[in-house]
Amino acid sequence: MITLEDIYNNSSSVSDIKNIPLEITDMLVKIGNNCIKHKGVYTVLTTLLLYKINNPQQDVRLHQSNMKGGFSGRTFDTKYVTPELARLGLPSMAESGWLTRSLEQPYPYDLNYNGKISGGLKNCFLELLNYLQHNPKMAVDMLRILLNQVIAKTKEEIIKIEPLQNSEMLTIDKIINALDLHFNYKYGTHNGAKLPVLAFYALYRQIISEVKRYENCSLSDLASLTACDLTSKASGDIEVFKNGQLFEAVEIKLNKVIDSNILRVVERKIYKYSPERYYILSYYGMKEDDRDNIQQIIEDVKTKHGCQIIVNGLLPTIKYYLRLVSSLKKFMVSYGELVEQDRELQKVHKECWNTILKQMA
């Protein structure tokens, strides 16, 4: 089988490709250029091209096995594409491109496909697959052109977080103000909700080595922001384990007020994963007219399960934890590293943090 890595290793230059029509190349470049904002489209196209390379007789527009003559594109993606994209350091979905609603419709990807593919990419996507069906021998070169553009776009998105100058002048209030600006900047794009998760992850990195309550504790890897709750197999945005058992879980809501519906979801997670303590944190705090219902769920869970649910504001909790850590500079360095390395954040999120750090200097 020809793997995605095989094609990737031959995609750093595509100057040798001569036989692909210019309009097809332009469409591949357009989708590759949108590989971060519209990962589902690029992931599905990558999957179908790779499948066509290995199965040239298959009409890959028939992307579901319940279609006559079809196959399971999602299964192939989940097994051979999405994990490999992540391993190669390229933009990737949490699980599969077929979890994108506009692409999971049970209809062939022919020119009459009715799914509302966003970003102005629908015509490109469908025209490329139509061309592929009539020119199966072009699959390798098409995938090389696509990956070549994705590689270039990925390199463009690399932003180095500059070290904070005058870190000896740091105060908790200055950090809180900086984080407040970073969390709530109007980015005009998605995934900004990942920022407070990274801030808490940086805090937990410190407190598990410095605070006695967290002795013998470890952090799980960060889950993807876009992973479905049903399949992520995580109890919360952050998980702390003690002696191999789930000890604490944290759910963070940047743009949502905490209400009883959120508590009910958390209640189910508690009975499934059984942490000792569960934090639910929101920038906007608790919905006041739902307070009694929230409190009742908290008391019921404590009585029946034993888990303590703590509902609190996002920034006040960060402020409290910053009082516990031994080094504010260490927190800022750790948060900066997480922001720089995170693959779900976009360029604008990282540039914004650099701007804030310059203003703090």
Q: Is residue 117 part of a domain?
A: yes
145 and 176 assigned to the same domain: no
75 and 172 assigned to the same domain: no
Question: pLDDT above 90 covers what percent of the chain?
Answer: 83
pTM of the model: 0.79
pLDDT computed for residue 226 by the predictor: 56
355 and 269 assigned to the same domain: yes
- Letter string b/e over residues 191-201, b meaning 16 or more CB atoms within 10 A of that residue's CB: bbbbbbbbbbb
Domains held by the chain: number = 2
DSSP-assigned beta bridge partners for residue 312:
281
Structure tokens at 308: 């303590």
Query: Is residue 2 pLDDT above 70, yes or no?
Result: yes
pLDDT computed for residue 110 by the predictor: 95
Q: Is residue 161 part of a domain?
A: no
Average pLDDT, the chain: 93
Distance of alpha carbon 99 from alpha carbon 31, whole angstroms: 18
DSSP-assigned beta bridge partners for residue 342:
none
CATH code of residue 207:
3.40.1350
Distance of alpha carbon 63 from alpha carbon 61, whole angstroms: 5
Can you tell me whether residue 108 is helix, strand or coil? coil
Q: Are 247 and 240 in contact (CB under 8 A)?
A: yes
Among 322, 291, 65, CA closest to 199:
322
User: pLDDT tens digit string along 221-243?
Assistant: 987 665 545 445 789 999 999 99
Question: pLDDT above 70 covers what percent of the chain?
Answer: 98
Distance of alpha carbon 349 from alpha carbon 179, whole angstroms: 12
| Residue 223 domain boundaries | 167-360
- Letter string b/e over residues 319-350, b meaning 16 or more CB atoms within 10 A of that residue's CB: eebbeebeebeebbbbbbebbbebebbbeebb
Q: Is residue 162 part of a domain?
A: no
Confidence of residue 343 (pLDDT cuts 50, 70, 90): confident
Distance of alpha carbon 153 from alpha carbon 127, whole angstroms: 22
Task: Report the residue count for the chain.
Answer: 361
86 and 210 assigned to the same domain: no
Question: Locate tokens 């399971």: which residue?
Answer: 72
